[in-house]
Structure 1
Amino acid sequence: MMPQFVTVRIKRPDGRPIRIWVPVLPVVLVLSPVVVLAVLGAAVACLVYRLSVVRALGTGWRIVSALPGTRFDVEQGRTAVLVAIR
């Protein structure tokens, strides 16, 4: 299943957090021309390096499907960025 939401929480040095919820599907639809070009570029790269295009695209889809539930945190001093993919 494709991720549905990305939640970004930024803790600023002054202590006030910023929360941003990003729905993935509308972003993908808006950026679909770029996604098509990226897939075509990946297919050309696979052909140049003599890799299976179908297998590479299948692996990419598996990685995208495994993203829901992923969470990573980055802290630098008193600022922190927390990203959760649902």
Structure 2
Amino acid sequence: MMPQLVTVRVERPDQRAIRIWVPVLPVVLVLSPVMVLAVLGAAVACLVFSISLVRALGTGWRVVSALPGTRVDAEYSRTAVLVSIR
């Protein structure tokens, strides 16, 4: 299943935490022209490097499908960024 929601939370010790919810489907629809160009670029790269296009697209889809449930925590200095994909 494709991810539905990305939650980004930025925590700083001096201020309140900022939480942003980003729905994935509207972002994908807005960026679909760019995604078409990216798929065409991937197709050309597959032809240049003799990689099966169907297998490469299938692998890419499996990576996107595995994203729900992923959580990324990054901390730099006193600022923490927490990203959760649902």
TM-score, normalising length from structure 2?
A: 0.97
Number of aligned pairs?
A: 86
CA distance in 2 between partners of 1:58 and 1:66 (Å): 12
Amino acid aligned to 1:50: S
| Corresponding residue for residue 9 of structure 1 | 9
Amino acid aligned to 1:21: W
CA drift at 1:26? 0.2
| Corresponding residue for residue 53 of structure 2 | 53
Amino acid aligned to 2:10: I
Percent of residue pairs bearing the same amino acid type: 81
Alignment of 1:59-74 (within 5 A): 59-74=59-74
Query: Which range moved further: 8-17 or 30-39?
Result: 8-17
CA distance in 2 between partners of 1:9 and 1:83 (Å): 6
| Corresponding residue for residue 32 of structure 2 | 32
CA drift at 1:13? 3.6
Amino acid aligned to 1:55: R
Deviations 1:38-67 (A, max 9, x none): 001001000000000000000000000000
Indicate the RMSD between aligned Cα atoms, in angstroms: 0.7
SS at match of 2:68: coil
SS at match of 2:19: strand
Give structure 1 regions of 4+ aligned residues with deviation exceeding 2 angstroms.
none
| Corresponding residue for residue 19 of structure 1 | 19
